[in-house]
Amino acid sequence: MTRRPRPRVASQTRARLRGLHFNRLIPNILTVLALCAGLTAILYAYQGKWKFAVIAILIAAVLDALDGRVARLLGGSTKFGAELDSLSDFVSFGVAPALLVFLWSLQSAQEIGWITALVFAVCAALRLARFNTRLGVSDMPAWASNFFTGVPAPAGGGLALLPMILSFNFQNQTLAHPAITIPVMVIVACLMISRIPTYALKQVRVPHRMVMPFLLFVGLTAALLAMATWLTISVFLFVYLLSIPFSMRAYRRLQRDAADGGSDSKTDDVEADEVTGRVFEEIADTAQDDND
C-alpha cells in the first residue's frame, strides 16, 4: 500500500521561507572573510609578496577578533559558527603562517624546514581540536573566561611571523636564516598546545574616567600603524610575550583564591583540585551565553 506524503504545516512552511535574519549571519560573514584573507595570504606567499601576505593574515586576525564579539552582541552565537571559526583559524593562523615562513626561510633547510612547518600546522590543528571539545561546556568558574589555555591561534600565527616582520622594519635578511626561524616556529607551536594561561581580555571593562585616554590611545595606535607599521606590530607582539608571565601569576592567584574561598568540606576540596587541571577555552564564554 502506497503511503501518501504528509501535508506540510503552514507555519513550518512560512518559517522556512522567512529564513534567517541578516544580523545573525553577520558573524559568519566575518568568519568567511577571515578565511578568504588567510587563503589570499597563501597566494601572496607563492608570489613572493611577503608584506602583502603578512597584511592579509593581520586582516584575518582583526576579523577573527570581531566575529565572536559581534556574535555575542547580536545573539548569533551558534555551534555552526564556532566550527566555522575553528576551520577558518586553522587555515589563516595555522596553514598560512607555516607556508609563508617555509617559502620565505625554511626552504633552504630542506626536510627539516618542511618538518618544522608541519609541526606548527599540526599544533595549530591540535589546539583547535581541543577548543572544539569544549563546545557546550558551561561549568566553568566565573573567572575562567578571562584566560585562554595556551597561546590562541591568531597570536600564535603573529608570533611565528615575528622574524619576518622584524626583517621588514630593520631590512636585515639575517632574520630569514633557518637557525632563527626554526626555533621560533617550534617554541610558538609548543606555546599553542601548552596549558599556560594567557589573557583573554574578553570581559575587560573600561572605567568611565579612562574612556577618553583609551580613545586617545586608540588614535595614537592608528597613527603609529600608519607611520611605522612593522615596528608597531613588532612592539605589540613583544608586549604580548611579556604579558604571559603576568597572566600565569594572575591565574594562580585567582585559582588560589577560589580554593581558599570554598568550604572546608571534602567535596569542596575535590572541586578546588579539579580547577587546577581544567582547560579554559575560548568557547567557554559563548557556551555560557547560550545557556543563559
pLDDT digit string, tens, across residues 156-206: 999 999 999 999 988 888 899 999 999 999 999 999 999 888 888 766 777
The answer to whether residue 189 is domain-embedded is: yes
Residue-level pLDDT at 81: 80
Q: What is the structure's pLDDT at 136? A: 59
Q: Which residue positions in the chain have pLDDT lower than 70?
A: 1-20, 22, 75-76, 134-144, 202-203, 261-292
User: For residue 223, what are the domain limits?
Assistant: 22-202+218-252
- The pLDDT score that the predictor gives to residue 288 is 43
pLDDT of residue 67: 82
**Which residue type sits at 161?**
L
263 domain residue, yes or no: no
E strands within 86-208? 147-149, 197-199
- The tens digit of pLDDT for each residue in 43-70 reads 999 999 999 999 999 999 999 888 877 8
Is residue 96 included in any domain, yes or no? Answer: yes
- Answer yes or no: is 236 within a domain: yes
Position 2 scores a pLDDT of 54
The total domain count for the chain is 1
101 inside domain: yes
**Any residues with CB less than 8 A from the CB of 144 and at least 6 apart, and which?**
278, 280, 284
Q: Does some domain include residue 283?
A: no
- pLDDT attached to residue 284: 43
For residue 232, report the phi and psi dihedrals to the nearest 5 degrees.
-65, -45
* Rg of the Cα atoms in the chain: 22
- Distance (Å, rounded) from C-alpha 174 to C-alpha 192? 26
Q: How many CB atoms lie within 10 A of CB 112?
A: 12
Torsion angle in degrees (nearest 10) through CA of 166, 171, 174, 177: 60
C-alpha cell of 193? 598546545
Quick check: is 4 in a domain? no
The pLDDT, as a whole number, for residue 269 is 41
Q: What does the pLDDT read at residue 78?
A: 75
- Copy the grid coordinates of residue 52: 602583502
CATH number assigned to the domain comprising residue 182: 1.20.120.1760
Q: What is the pLDDT of residue 211?
A: 86
What integer pLDDT is reported at residue 126 of this predicted model? 93
- Asked whether residue 207 is assigned to any structural domain, the reply reads no
Q: How far is residue 36's CA from residue 22's CA, in Å, rounded to a whole number?
A: 20
